[in-house]
Amino acid sequence: MVLTKEYTTSPRTFKHLTPYERGKICALLKEGFSPTQIAKKLGRHRSTIYREIKRGTTTQLRTDLTTYSAYFPETGQAVYEKNRSACGRKSKVLQVDSFLRYAEQKILKDKWSPDAVVGTARREKIFDPSSMVCTKTLYNYIDRCLLKVRNIPFHKNQT
C-alpha cells in the first residue's frame, strides 16, 4: 500500500530569529563580517539579516557629542517582541457587547450555563452571528474576568 499526500501546500520552512542568533549577528558584525557572510554562517536568507540589523541598530552618542550607529541584539529583540505583541486576532469584546450583557443576565438571573446561552441565542436567532461569540470564547471571557460571571469548577467529593 502506497501512502500519498492529501494536501498540496508545503509547510513553512522559515522561523524567527532567536536571541542567541541575534547575539551571533552582533559578534560577527564586530568581527567585520558582511551581512551576506553572516547569513551564510547562520543558514538564513541575507534579507533576514539585513532586516535584523536595521531593526536592532540605534544611534549612540559619544562623549565628544558625535553620533554613531551600532547594532545591539537586545534592541533587535525588544523591537521584535513589540512588533509580535500586535500580532494575532483582535478581541471581539467591543463588537459583541450586547450579547455579553444578554449572557450575563441569563447566567446570573436565570441560572443558564454559557453553553445554553449561546445555543439558545443561535437557535432563536436573537443576535446576528457576527455579533456574538461561541461557547469556548464566552468561557474564555469569563475566565479573563471580562464579565460579572465567575467560573466555579465542580469537583467530585472524594470519600
Q: What is the pLDDT of residues 106-126, one digit of tens each?
A: 999 999 999 999 999 999 999
Domain boundaries defined on the chain: 19-84, 97-143
The list of the chain residues with pLDDT below 70 reads 1-5, 7, 12, 154-159
Give residue 32's pLDDT. Answer: 97
Give residue 29's pLDDT. Answer: 97
Q: CATH says 19-84 is which class?
A: mainly alpha
Asked whether the CA dihedral 92, 98, 102, 104 is positive or negative, the reply is: positive
Output the pTM of the full model. Answer: 0.58
Give residue 151's pLDDT. Answer: 80
The one-letter amino acid at 116: A
